[in-house]
Structure 1
Amino acid sequence: MFTVEAPQISAPPAAGLRERAVSATGLAYLQIDRSGVIRDWNPAAEQIFGWTRDEAVGQRLTDLIIPAALRSAHSAGFARYLVNGESDMVGHPVEVPATHRNGSELRLSMTIDPLGEQGFFAFVTDRTDGHRAQLELQRSNTLINAILQHTTAIISAKDLDGNYLFVNGEYERVFQVTAVDMVGRSEADLLSAPAAAIGRTHDQDVAETGTAKTVLEEIPFGDEIRQYVVTRVPLTDPDGSVYGVCTIGIDDTGRRRSEATIADGERLFRATVDNAPGMLYQFRMETTGETSFTFVSNGSRDIYQVEPEEIIASGGNVLSTIAVEDLETYTASVLRSAETLEPWDWRGSVVRRDGSRRWLYGAARPHREPGGATVWDGMLLDRTRERHTELDLEAVRGDLADLVERLAVLSVTAPAGPTPAPALAALVAEKDQEALAALWQSAVRGERADGVLTDRLLVRLRPRSDQSISVSCFRLDDCA
């Protein structure tokens, strides 16, 4: 009779699993002891703050990532928690400012939890871009609100049932109502039945078709009939569904615009567009990927050496002029903007018919049409002169670097370690080693450092983005 023992299965060490999880997570993880010294720092933390784990561990958190203006308050709050265990920041997410290695400001979402006698740990998410976007959104909202409340057009928004959602200041003035009173009411509460019925018909038409509509409407004010040019625009949710109608009315009383007036306005618009710098355009991409230009200003002649009508008729073939080396970035930027509806932004070059190259900057804002097509309204600016200047500056910098190389007693690039580069230390007299160490530490912190030592040796240290330091030394007596 044989006895077979069951294999023994042992659980993997919990610490090993934890270390792998902390290293793999996209959240920054950091651990500090009860004296505020960093004891752990994962790859995501390196990415957010710019400090490697070896550089961060052993440093005080306050000195490394807390903004200088907040360090005293942070230290006081930390000490208070150690004494009485009370803190608004422990146990739940909080949004706090921080500092990147390069000195730039960060905005973080941080959740801190205690580790008993071992101190504390925190998971951190970078919210810097979102914070900036929120500030930009607030500015945009302020601008839009200022326009709405100070324009001479009467502006309102209604839901699909015809009930008011919003009226602006000019609407209040013209109809002698308040915005609060109008919310939830309809035009039938304000206008005569015939006028309200006409407006309701136009609203329904715009909501059903999903397209804007401009008409001339007559609105009675007592014994007076006033004419308004009224534009209705569908209000849509992010998914494209219509939830209401925005109405913009401009008083056109006494001056019914003739064909000549309209033609003058169109000529003025065309003159304004064609005198604008660069090329203004509207670009369209169908769901099938087919592209075309639906509007092009006369600036195409300067940029592409092509007439606007030719670009429109060719279905966008002007894109074939994009330089081969820039085509990949152009295609990727357009597809990304079409997918996310984020503003399009691109820098690249085109080769014109005569073989000359033009460097361009393009920017546009996209929107999605009900049928799924993506349309961009944008502009192209010729930055050839700017690019030539950049190339000239690069050449000058190269010449300067070459001159420095030839004049310098020492010119090397060394890792940003804790002590000066050996070649540099060997060049400096013993009495100047302490001064050299101070200069070196400034460069390690990311600061430009210059110093003249007692033996007339000029030391220039320049930190680089790859965690190294550019070293140049000159004998001032030789320069003289």
Structure 2
Amino acid sequence: MFTVEAPQITAPPAAGLRDRAVDASALAYVQIDRSGVIRDWNPAAERLFGWPRDEVIGRRLADTIVPAPLRSAHHAGFARRLVGGDSGGLGHPIEVPAVHRDGSELRISMTVDALGDDGFFAFVTDQTDGHRAQQELQRSNTLISAILQHTTAMISAKDLDGRYLFVNGEYERIFQVTAADMVGRAEADLVSAAVAAVGRGHDQEVIASGTAKTVLEEVPFGDEIRQYVVTRVPLTDPDGSVYGVCTIAIDDTQRRRSQDAIAAGEQRFWNTVNNAPGMLYQFRMEPTGEASFTFVSDGCRDIYQLEPEEIVESAAGLLDAIAPEDQEGFASSVLVSAQTLEPWDWRGSVIRRDGSRRWLYGASRPHREPGGATVWDGMLLDRTHERNTELDLEAVRRDLDDLVERLAVLSMSVPAVPEPVPALCALVITEDREALFDLWRAALRGERADAILAGHDGRLMVRLRPRGRDEIVVSCFRIGRPALGGLA
């Protein structure tokens, strides 16, 4: 009879299987004895902490992976576990800081368990990246919260139905509400129905389009209407669907008021400049002699028949308009003012495009710029009417002088001697000679002297005009005849 023996099944060595499993594990494995010395260390631990197994076996765990500031606490806790048999935390993951061989900080999660008299072992995972991400997230949340609560913009979020999900600190301050009370409420609970309807309409546009929108909105506060620049941004889920609207409102009232005030002031300035008599300007001359106008008021149209833009673009049109007989004097006065930085003062004439002549008076004050250019700020006044009046007066004087010469009983220029000339004395009767001498002494003092004296053939108007200090112009006119027995 044949007998068949059952095959013998030999169990593989348990220790060998454990070693292979530990070495193959992606989790770092660390074993220490009851004195805290490392007794086992798998490849994952090598990768995590940077210590090769053959170098780390026999080192104290605290000196290897525990950060220096925490080693005292680690020793105290380890001692309590050994002496008191404290099993708290065994078998549960705990997260603690650690250190890499190169000194960089790690954040690890480890599950520790006991090996009886052989010590303890732990499986360790690297939580460094996750911990850093968590810290970054926390910092970001803190930053966002600080911005939201301390910005001067009103920020809120509403759902698709227009109910508030969030309001920030500025919103609370402006409307005197609390964020908790606003959750679930609508904008119509705070402002008038008309204002709320405008805001709701803009919200719906953003929800429908899925794009941001910025508008100017006016919100009444008591007797005041404030203007806000309002930007609405759609809030979306990861799949892109819109679940609400974020609103950022910036109070633009003061800026707009300031802007309007500046614009009004600027308008008043230009009205003053352009309505001032004559032409205001800024003239610039480079060290090379190149000349240009950097500013010209509208008065140039009346004076030169040129547009301001023409003159600013090229100074040639204005400078070429100076009358030929006045160009040399103009150029000389400018050069002297540039050299001495004394005020520029000029009188001359220009020939306009239509051939007419205008007489001008120019005055300005120069200053030197760091680059060496000389700049004059000043004005040109049209004195054509005044000049024409002067010419008319000169013509009248010439005519009057001619008339005087033709009508005068006596007309002559004589030296400024101490006594009246004999020819004048001969015309005046003896009784008025003293008055004539008084008149003559006034002329010697440089005064214009006139008097009506009695002459032999009637009354005489005597006129004495000093010319310089050494000459007197004498004129006598007969203005009546004497009556019988005396002076008329």
Higher Cα radius of gyration: 2
